[in-house]
Structure 1
Amino acid sequence: MRMSRYAALTMGLFASAAIATAAAAYDGTKCKAPGNCWEPKPGFPEKVEGSKYDPKHDPKEIAKQGLSIQAMEDRNKKRVAYFKKTGKWIYEVDKIPAE
């Protein structure tokens, strides 16, 4: 008996959540182009750039991730080259013998 009440309550909660989500979903009436239906929330500017919400990221900070990825790829190339040459895998790049 408890299980069926619990199941009914759970199903009711999911159904009400689904109805609330469907009611709050964007209906696509203000699309600029097919598939481009983004619009800002009320009170936010149409374009973020130049507004008070613009994060103004530092280009040096943005470039750090690219440099980090490039360094990772270089280390992986060294590991793979040594493995192909010797058949022995060494994870620590500093421990790979110099040629």
Structure 2
Amino acid sequence: MKTLSLTLVAGIAFAGLAGVIAPAAMAYDGTHCKAQGNCWEPKPGFPEKIAGSKYDPKHDPKQLAKQSESMKAMEARNAARAENFKKTGKWVYDVSKIQ
């Protein structure tokens, strides 16, 4: 039981010490604001231009287009459902059942 207590006390002391040191190392003085409330600035070493740097995510255009394609398909299905509802007065969810 004493071992657990000492471990717990040591962990709490270390966490307290880290909490005191970390904010001082990461502190931002707010002197480089682009506008009122817009005080974000990159960490030192972060490039001005992301494209071509190691931070560039290099997304595949085919993967990025998937969401817009699925949204267009969804809008087409919803348009068919709405048109069918206007004609028949019944809402049919399954578009394959709409004639």
State the TM-score, normalized to the length of structure 1: 0.62
Question: Which residue of 2 is the match for residue 29 of structure 1?
Answer: 31
**Per the alignment, do residues 75 and 32 of structure 1 end up closer, same or farther by CA in structure 2, a change over 3 Å counting?**
same
Q: Aligned in 2, Cα 1:83/1:51: closer, same or farther, shift over 3 Å?
A: same
Query: Quick one: distance in 1 between partners of 2:27 and 2:89?
Result: 56
Deviates more, 1:36-45 or 1:71-80: 36-45
Report the count of equivalent residues: 77
Q: Percent identity?
A: 71
Residue of structure 1 in register with 2:85 after alignment = 83
State the AA in 1 paired with 2:64: I
Counterparts in 2 of 1:41-56, with a 5 A limit? 41-56=43-58
Q: CA deviation at 1:33?
A: 4.4
Unaligned 5+ residue runs, structure 1?
1-19
Aligned-CA RMSD value: 2.5
TM-score (norm 2): 0.62
Partner of 1:67: 69
Letter in 2 for 1:82: N
